[in-house]
């Protein structure tokens, strides 16, 4: 059956021209530098640390020149844990563990940051001037080389400021990571297939007025593009009630409901548009005067004047920078019923942030197109709202999944959200970093909370990694593990000494494998005999100790 829709090739509409010296250059002469972002792990950040991250972002953004765009893009893709079942060196328990967790679903989180330098005209354009609406794209030439040099210097400063913090880290992406190679696809390939697979297949893209489809996936877009949709107050972090008590708070970032807490395939886009703040405030002054002159004709004009005056008062009194911002959640599914459920989940997540969910169907195609890495300058201006840098940064995600420790020595723990196995070093790596000064462990919990279960788990993995284990077991909690090791090693390891009436614990202190008694062995025998001979309150004379030593040595 012939498709009667208007069809064009991706090549003719593709907004990017090339990647030069690590920068993406668009056909409208916009320059973008891309970074990978490393965030701290979930449930490990305090309220003060959220404030520190917020401050670092603010300082870094302040160094960017006018008509720059900060586009932070968080990818949350459903994946399945792949167990190491083909590893022949696994023990029975290790293989059983891998089989149990094999194909366990979890949400893979990747964070990218794009810093774009554009011009005043591009930042003011609306959706009908998007590259999607143009018949043919003619590449423009970068005319102002000085502006480019200043922007690159500002990007270097931005990178240093962020990396000077201990909580955040950004790494500049290479050309291979952006456009890919013959062996694996790049970030652009993955965006046009909505997949994190390295060999994602090419998909047809349908950008319609009623539906946006990428391959089999149908897209659902919720936007925060108007001040009426925003909460009355924002903060860097919020209390997570499920893990908080009356005496302790578990903190998450303000935007966490649309991050890892949203269990579906989605991309969370965060845009900040850095314009000429002084020019913006002058324009608002003019609007306020116009509203004041028209206030007698409409009460709404009077209310708008009050809002504009309040915005101007805050900007001037606190020295804040006027910017535009936009945030959206792009979710997708190949199943219509699942997409309907996802739509409800995204709306509920935004409601948890005290935002008014707005399902955007009109500009979905344009916003998807503007979300292309390096194409933030194509963003429609009417979909953004005026604010300041500080409140806008509260909508940035600030935590990610638990990460595997780099150390080869450690134990497997479970991710708190999904139950995915995570390799964790709780001994050597923290000691190298100076977090701890010894390897002592104290396991506290009520009866039945799993203390012995965890210790069995830890001891088994430590043993399999070559550790020497000596346990004093008062309740036979580790006898089963010991017998398993004893059978596997055919009696070489897993020796378990226990007391019974029929077979009390006994040993021969005079036995040695080589029949050689060194000084340490002789002293230990003397100490044992003195302990059996004298009680705790009896004094041992030098003569008695000397005679006993001579008898042992002879």
Domain count within the chain: 4
Question: Among the three residues 393, 419, 453, which one is the final residue of a domain in this structure?
Answer: 393
Structure confidence at residue 389 (pLDDT): 96
Same domain for 475 and 552, yes or no, is no
- Could you tell me if 76 and 265 are in contact, meaning their C-beta atoms sit under 8 angstroms apart? yes
Beta bridge partner(s), residue 20: 23
Residue 24's DSSP bridge partners are 19, 32
Q: Tokens 């880290």 appear where?
A: 169
Nearest CA among 176, 364, 341 for reference residue 263: 341
- Specify which residues 206 forms β-bridges with: 213
Instruction: Give the per-residue pLDDT at 198.
Output: 66
Rounded Cα distance between 16 and 25, Å, is: 6
Q: Which of 535, 533, 538 is nearest to 549 (CA)?
A: 533
Question: Which residues does the chain have with pLDDT short of 70?
Answer: 1-7, 128-142, 198-201
Q: Are residues 164 and 262 in the same domain?
A: yes
How far apart (Å, rounded) are the C-alpha atoms in residues 375 and 31? 9
* β partners of residue 271: 71, 326
- Chain position carrying tokens 């897993």: 494
Same domain, 52 and 24: yes
What is the b/e burial string over 270-302, where b = at least 16 CB atoms within 10 angstroms of the residue's CB?
bbbbbbebeebbeebeeebeebbeebeeeeebe
15 in any annotated domain: yes
Instruction: For residues 461 and 335, state if they share a domain.
Output: no
Give domain status of residue 216, yes or no: yes
For 300, residues 6+ apart whose C-beta sits below 8 A from its C-beta are none
Q: What is the pLDDT of residues 28-58, one digit of tens each?
A: 889 999 999 999 999 999 999 999 999 999 9
Quick one: residue 67, left, alpha or beta (phi over 0 = left, psi -120 to 50 = alpha)? Answer: left
How buried is residue 392: exposed, middle or buried, by Cβ count under 10 Å (0-12/13-18/19+)?
buried
Give kind and range of the element (H or E) at residue 145: helix 145-163
**Domain end marker among 488, 506, 524:** 506
Please report whether residue 3 resides in a domain. no
The answer to whether residues 517 and 422 belong to one domain is no
Taking CA 394 as the corner, what is the angle to CA 391 and CA 398, rounded to the nearest 5 degrees? 160
Looking at the fold, whether 192 and 297 belong to one and the same domain comes out as yes
pLDDT in the model for residue 381:
92
Q: Is 91 part of a structural domain of the chain?
A: no
Q: What is the DSSP string of 292-332?
A: HHTTTT-HHHHHHHHHHHHHHHHHHHHTPPEEEEEEEEEEE
Residues 487, 389 share a domain: no
Are 161 and 261 found together in one domain?
Answer: yes
Q: Nearest-5° angle of CA 422, CA 426, CA 431?
A: 135
What's the first-to-final CA gap in the chain, in angstroms? 105
Domain hosting 417: range is 405-440
User: Would you give the DSSP letter of residue 457?
Assistant: H
Q: Which letter, b or e, does each residue of 327-350 get, where b requires 16 or more Cβ atoms within 10 Å of its Cβ?
A: bbbbbbbeeeeebeebbebbbebb
Please answer whether residues 331 and 346 qualify as being in contact, where contact means their C-beta atoms are separated by less than 8 angstroms.
Answer: yes
Residue 4 inside a domain? The answer is: no
Residues 499 and 522 in one domain: no
Q: Are 364 and 418 part of one and the same domain?
A: no
pLDDT score recorded for residue 133: 60
pLDDT for residue 1: 41
Residues 305 and 327 in one domain: yes
Distance of CA 94 to the CA centre of its chain: 27
Helix ranges (DSSP H) in 211-352 = 277-293, 299-318, 336-352
Q: Based on the domain organization, do 22 and 111 belong to the same domain?
A: yes
User: Helical H runs in 167-276?
Assistant: 175-179, 187-191
Tell whether 231 is covered by a domain.
yes
Within-domain flag for 276: yes
Q: Which helix (H) or strand (E) holds 268?
A: strand 266-274
190-218 pLDDT, tens digit each = 999 998 776 666 788 888 777 889 989 99
Residue 522 lies in a domain: yes
């Amino acid at each position: 059956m012939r498709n009667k829709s208007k069809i064009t090739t991706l090549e003719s509409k593709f907004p990017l021209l090339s990647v030069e010296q690590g920068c993406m250059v668009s056909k409208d002469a916009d320059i973008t530098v891309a970074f990978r972002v490393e965030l701290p792990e979930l449930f490990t950040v305090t309220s003060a640390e959220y404030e520190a991250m917020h401050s670092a972002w603010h300082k870094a953004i302040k160094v960017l020149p006018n008509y720059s765009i900060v586009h932070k893009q968080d990818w949350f893709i459903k994946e399945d844990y792949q167990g190491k079942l083909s590893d022949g060196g696994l023990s029975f328990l290790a293989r059983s563990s891998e089989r149990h967790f094999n194909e366990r679903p979890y949400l893979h989180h990747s964070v990218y940051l794009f810093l774009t330098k554009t011009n005043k005209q591009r930042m003011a354009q609306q959706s009908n001037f998007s590259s999607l609406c143009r018949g043919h794209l003619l590449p423009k030439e970068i005319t102002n080389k000085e502006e480019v040099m200043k922007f690159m210097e500002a990007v270097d400063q931005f990178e240093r400021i962020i990396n000077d913090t201990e909580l955040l880290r950004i790494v500049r992406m290479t050309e291979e990571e952006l456009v890919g190679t013959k062996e694996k696809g790049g970030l652009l390939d993955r965006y046009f297939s909505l997949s994190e697979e390295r060999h994602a297949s090419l998909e047809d893209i349908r950008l319609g007025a009623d539906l946006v489809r990428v391959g089999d996936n149908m897209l659902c877009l919720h936007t925060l593009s108007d001040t009426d949709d925003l909460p009355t107050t924002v903060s860097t972090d919020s209390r997570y009630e499920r893990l908080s008590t009356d005496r302790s708070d578990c903190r998450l970032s303000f935007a966490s409901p649309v991050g890892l807490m949203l269990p579906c395939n989605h991309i969370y886009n965060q845009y900040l548009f850095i314009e000429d703040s002084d020019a913006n405030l002058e324009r608002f002054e003019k609007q306020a005067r116009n509203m004041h002159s028209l206030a007698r004709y409409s009460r709404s004009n009077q209310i708008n004047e009050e809002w504009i005056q309040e915005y101007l008062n805050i900007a001037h009194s606190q020295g804040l920078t006027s910017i535009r911002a936009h945030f959206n959640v792009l979710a997708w599914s190949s199943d219509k019923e699942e997409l309907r459920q996802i739509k409800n989940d995204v709306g509920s997540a935004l409601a948890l942030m005290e935002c008014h969910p707005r399902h955007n169907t009109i500009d979905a195609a344009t916003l998807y197109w503007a979300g292309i890495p390096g194409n933030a300058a194509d963003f429609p201006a009417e979909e953004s709202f005026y604010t300041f840098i500080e409140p806008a940064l509260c909508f940035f995600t600030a935590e990610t999944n638990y990460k595997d420790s780099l150390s080869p020595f450690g134990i497997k723990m479970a991710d708190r959200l999904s139950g995915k196995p995570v390799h964790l070093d709780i001994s050597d790596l923290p000691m190298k970093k100076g977090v701890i000064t010894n390897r002592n462990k104290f396991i506290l919990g009520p009866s039945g909370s799993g203390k012995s279960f965890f210790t069995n788990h830890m001891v088994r993995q430590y043993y399999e990694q070559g550790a020497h284990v000596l346990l004093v077991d008062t309740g036979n909690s580790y006898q089963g593990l010991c017998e398993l090791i004893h059978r596997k090693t055919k009696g070489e390891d897993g020796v378990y000494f226990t007391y019974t009436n029929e077979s009390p614990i006994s040993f021969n202190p005079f036995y040695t494998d080589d029949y050689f008694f060194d000084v340490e062995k002789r002293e230990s025998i003397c100490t044992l005999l003195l302990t059996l001979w004298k009680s705790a309150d009896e004094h041992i004379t030098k003569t008695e100790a000397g005679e006993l030593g001579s008898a042992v040595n002879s």
